[in-house]
Structure 1
């Protein structure tokens, strides 16, 4: 399927500062960016800092006063394999070196504190069957609710509270998978059919020799996700990191299917 995506961000910057922007669709094997444009008003001093491993598209710019960043793209998403159950987990010694960091605990997904829980709850399952069972458990036991969590909430907090938003669901599924010795990482994406439209936090697990997208919230179809950024957790995939002070004026995200 093809999608038109758009992000419009307007902020007031009291003093000049640098900004890292992560809103551009990634160029990778599971999606093709047919056209795209990132524009600023007024013009700013911007440089590209793309990642050759994750295919992440990054822009760093210097901002002062009121600045609008507008990104538009047409992206084709390739059909994705939805069947996790028969996908094997790989032995640690067989994992590519770039995958190994996603086995370790991170700030928002302290997987080392979840090991006893996963062994008690999912101990009889391996590989994709365990991931499928983790997703089913989250769907049955967590409630999607805004206002329960904040910027400091971790996967352990979400396990206790049994509620949160997409980043909380994602941190929990990542933590439970890592505690199962299955590499997992956070992904930001434009999400078709997500209401209200926003950049959506989802996850990927490494099974059967490649990364596979999963959405612990179940709010968006996997084939309707336009990947933007990847990382250990939400700290790595924020759509805007401001190295200074700024005030939000207006922002919006959208995605439309075009065939």
Structure 2
């Protein structure tokens, strides 16, 4: 599948500050950037801070005043077999070293407090079957509700109030998987057919020998996701990190099939 991305950001920086922008499609085995364009108005000097290991692409810049950022791209997405049912769970000793950080709790995913809850709810299920059960439980018990959470909301608060947006769904799924000894991480993506269009947060779990994408909200097809970045939780994948103050004037994300 081939999709077109159109992202527009308009910010006002009252003081001269540094920022880190992460909105470009990542380099990955299951997606190819066919063409792209990143434009700043007014023009600013940028320093690339790409990660050759993760494939994440980002730029650092310094600016004061109004700034409009436009990112346009066409990305080819390969077919993704993300079946969970037969995907085995790995003993800790057999996990690849780079998956180990995603077994531990993080700022928004206090998995150590969910171990008893995970065992009670998902019993003897293991691996992909357990992940599928986690996703089904979230779909049946959480309400997608805009405005009921903010940038400080953790998976524990989402579990209690049983509502949230995509990042809250993702954090709770990650927390329950890590509490089940399954490596899990958040991925920021562009998502085809998402309504309303926006940056989207989904989950990657390591079962059956590889990372597999999962959208706990069920709002977007896996074959229509373009990965931007991944990390322990939302703190690692912000599309714009501002080391100072700024005001968002406008923002839009459009993803269409080509």
Please state which band the TM-score falls in when normalised by the shorter chain.
Answer: over 0.9
SS of 1:98's partner is helix
Q: How many residues of Structure 1 are paired with residues of Structure 2 in the alignment?
A: 258
Instruction: Provide the TM-score with structure 2 as the length reference.
Output: 0.98
Residue 86 of structure 1 corresponds to 86
* CA distance in structure 1 between the aligned counterparts of 2:190 and 2:168, rounded to whole angstroms: 17
Q: Which residue number corresponds to residue 4 of structure 2?
A: 4
What pairs up with 1:233-252 in 2 under 5 angstroms? Answer: 233-252=233-252
Runs of 4+ residues deviating >3 angstroms:
none
Structure 1 residue 246: Cα displacement: 0.8
The within-5 A match list for 1:83-232 is 83-232=83-232
Per the TM alignment, residue 82 of structure 1 is displaced from its structure 2 partner at its CA by: 2.9
User: 1:52 and 1:182 mapped to 2: Cα distance?
Assistant: 25
The separation in 1 between residues aligned to 2:207 and 2:30, in whole angstroms, is: 16
2: CA distance between counterparts of 1:241 and 1:111? 25
What's 2:26 paired with?
26
Look up the match of 2:46. Answer: 46
SS in 1 for 2:97: coil
Give how far 1:101 is off: 0.2
Map Cα deviations across residues 220-243 of structure 1 (whole Å, 9 max, x no partner): 000000110101001011110001
How well do the aligned residues superpose, as a CA RMSD in angstroms?
A: 0.7
- What do residues 79-105 of structure 1 show as CA deviations (whole Å, max 9, x unaligned)? 111310100111111112111100000
SS at structure 2 position matched to 1:107? coil
Quote the offset at 1:5 in angstroms.
0.4
Residue 63 of structure 1: how far off its partner (Å):
1.4
Q: How far apart, CA to CA, are the structure 1 residues paired with 2:103 and 2:214? A: 17
Give how far 1:37 is off.
Answer: 1.2
Q: Which runs of 5+ in 2 are unaligned?
A: none
In structure 1, the residue matched to 2:68 is: 68
Partner of 2:35: 35
Equivalent residue of 1:25, what SS? coil
Q: Comparing 216-225 with 151-160, which one deviates more in the overlay?
A: 151-160
